[in-house]
A = this chain, B = another copy of it.
Amino acid sequence: MTREELFGWCQTRFGARFGTGTSVRELHGRDESGHFPPALPDAVLWPETAQEIAELLPRCAGARCPVIPFGAGSSVEGQVLAVEGGIALDMTRMAAILDVSPGDMIAEVQAGVTREALNDHLRDTGLFFPVDPGANATLGGMASTRASGTTTIRYGTMRDAVLSVEAVLPDGSILRTGNRARKSAAGYDLTHLLVGSEGTLAVITALTLRLQPRPEISRSYQVSFPDIASAVTTVIEALQCGAQPTRIELMDTAQMAACLAESDLDLPIAPSLLIEIAGTDAAVTEEIAVLAEVARANGAVAEKPCDLPGEAAALWRMRHGAVHASRRSNPGCETLSTDLCVPISKLAEAIDRTRAWIDAAGLDAHICGHVGDGNFHAMFLCDPAQPGELQAATEIHDRMVALSLELGGTCSGEHGIGMGKKRYLRAEHPDTLPAMRAVKRALDPAGIMNPGKIFDL
């Protein structure tokens, strides 16, 4: 089948749900990565069932036509760019919440459901879906990139939240990789092979997700420190004591300055921990006391409980708006964001050395991170009129990745590899890349699934 014949079949089979117009192609030719030029698919298809995708994929394999699963387009490493053309599969019409079982604390959803839509739906159940990467991504997309975020320290990543997926392989087979039980030792863990595979092995069409009980109460507060190391040591010691914060986030001085410029909160411009503790009243009170004691012992210079109406919401709005606050602090800038994750005992060293490189190069960059996980992002803000800046930022990123690997860490804690970190993955996993490629060839012999992402064949 030629690609022309394939497209003819699609038009007949899917009618108006198959489009080749420029505007829909442009809407599916970019994500939020910023540092890649758009790469447009040749066509966009809005499937409504796994069966439709099962009809499509073998035909695409026959025509050697790439297929790029597309959720909310909120990936940040170019995961959805159609770098070899092909068909973007827009999953947003597969947005049904199929089942919620409060007793089992699980939900079954189609891949195009967003995390906010799921949480809206769960509002009256006493349960919620905890993984929160900031963007209102689709759950299929979040699984595909193994997303995590601010709540990982307590609730884990998408790896922990996904019990099972329904997926379509390039040969047209429809799989259900697991079931509704909380654990299983029945054969290879294909669920977690697909979670994080960035659409390069199969199209995830539905997911069984673990939900969490909504805590009775939650309290937030902010603590300022003289330096990054004191903040990180506070977190390490608190976790060793068994603290289970629901969020514990770090911002450096530059990030706090950018965020506070847009916030009504009256906080010091200093390295900060933003903390949320949730549970029963007694447990929260006790855990706040432990954290405060550890923070003071590590030289905390100021504490700000956010107990007045609206304060906690303002604190977390500030955190989730950090990327945009950074961009607005430097209008028109080009951005480059990093995603190192290191053992937490090495986090302060990684951040301090990164900051020294940034300052020595005279660049503007803001640092924030999921400190409990050892994961941090440096957002470089480069002046496009100074082309040397983006180059300098890239060189620092190279050094940061080398440092992370030296410290036992990874080039990507939560954003995935996409196109942006392929060369870093080669440095990080020269040993495992041949096995990854062997798995890819075994499941996608024609190489149609999201080509050009994670690694080159």
Q: Does A414 count as interface, using CB distance less than 8 angstroms?
A: yes
A374 contacts which of B174, B182, B213, B454 (Cβ < 8 Å)? B182
Q: Which of A173-211 contact B (CB under 8 A)?
A: 173-190, 192-193, 195-197, 201
**A414 adjacent to B185 (CB under 8 Å):** yes
Q: Which of A337-384 contact B (CB under 8 A)?
A: 339, 341-345, 373-375
Q: Does A115 count as interface, using CB distance less than 8 angstroms?
A: no
Q: Does A452 count as interface, using CB distance less than 8 angstroms?
A: no
Contacts of A410 in B (CB 8 A): 178-179, 181, 184-186
**A176 adjacent to B442 (CB under 8 Å):** no
Q: Given the known A-B contacts A236-B103, A435-B169, A439-B442, are A343 and B181 also in contact in the complex, defined by CB atoms under 8 Å?
A: yes
A87 to chain B, nearest CB (A): 23
A344 to B182, CA, bound (A): 8
A160 to B155, CA, bound (A): 12
Q: Does A215 count as interface, using CB distance less than 8 angstroms?
A: yes
**A104 adjacent to B345 (CB under 8 Å):** yes
Convert A427-457 into 0s and 1s, putting 1 for each residue whose CB lies closer than 8 angstroms to a CB of B.
Answer: 0110111111011111100000000001100
- Count of A residues near B, CB < 8 Å? 94
Q: Does A395 count as interface, using CB distance less than 8 angstroms?
A: no
A231 to chain B, nearest CB (A): 14
**B181 adjacent to A188 (CB under 8 Å):** no
Q: Does A101 count as interface, using CB distance less than 8 angstroms?
A: yes
A184 to B410, CA, bound (A): 6
Q: Does A58 count as interface, using CB distance less than 8 angstroms?
A: no
Q: Does A25 count as interface, using CB distance less than 8 angstroms?
A: no
**A429 adjacent to B345 (CB under 8 Å):** no
A146 contacts which of B145, B159, B189, B428 (Cβ < 8 Å)? B189
Closest residue on chain B to residue A440 by CB atoms = B188
Main secondary structure of the interface of A (DSSP, over half): loop
**B286 adjacent to A187 (CB under 8 Å):** no
A102 to chain B, nearest CB (A): 7
A370 to chain B, nearest CB (A): 9
Convert A147-164 into 0s and 1s, putting 1 for each residue whose CB lies closer than 8 angstroms to a CB of B.
Answer: 110001000110110000
A409 contacts which of B103, B180, B282, B411 (Cβ < 8 Å)? B180
**B192 adjacent to A146 (CB under 8 Å):** no
Contacts of A439 in B (CB 8 A): 188, 193, 439, 442-443
A183 contacts which of B286, B413, B425 (Cβ < 8 Å)? B413
Contacts of A141 in B (CB 8 A): none
Convert A404-433 into 0s and 1s, putting 1 for each residue whose CB lies closer than 8 angstroms to a CB of B.
Answer: 010011111111110001001100110111
Q: Does A240 count as interface, using CB distance less than 8 angstroms?
A: yes
Convert A301-344 into 0s and 1s, putting 1 for each residue whose CB lies closer than 8 angstroms to a CB of B.
Answer: 00000000000000000000000000000000000000101111
A430 to chain B, nearest CB (A): 10
A174 to B195, CA, bound (A): 24
Q: Given the known A-B contacts A102-B240, A286-B282, are A183 and B414 also in contact in the complex, defined by CB atoms under 8 Å?
A: yes
**A408 adjacent to B180 (CB under 8 Å):** yes
A210 to B182, CA, bound (A): 20
Q: Does A280 count as interface, using CB distance less than 8 angstroms?
A: yes
**A411 adjacent to B186 (CB under 8 Å):** yes
**B188 adjacent to A193 (CB under 8 Å):** yes
Contacts of A414 in B (CB 8 A): 183, 185
A187 to B453, CA, bound (A): 10
> In the complex, given contacts A104-B344, A174-B431, what are 10 additional A-B residue pairs having Cβ atoms less than 8 angstroms apart?
A103-B345, A156-B160, A181-B341, A181-B343, A183-B373, A185-B416, A188-B197, A188-B201, A188-B439, A190-B435
**A–B Cβ pairs within 8 angstroms, 22 of them:** A104-B343, A104-B374, A105-B239, A105-B240, A156-B160, A159-B192, A173-B431, A180-B342, A180-B343, A181-B343, A181-B409, A182-B374, A183-B341, A185-B196, A185-B414, A185-B416, A185-B417, A186-B412, A188-B432, A189-B195, A439-B442, A439-B443
Top 4 A-B residue pairs of the complex, sorted by shortest distance between their CB atoms: A180-B408, A103-B345, A442-B442, A192-B192
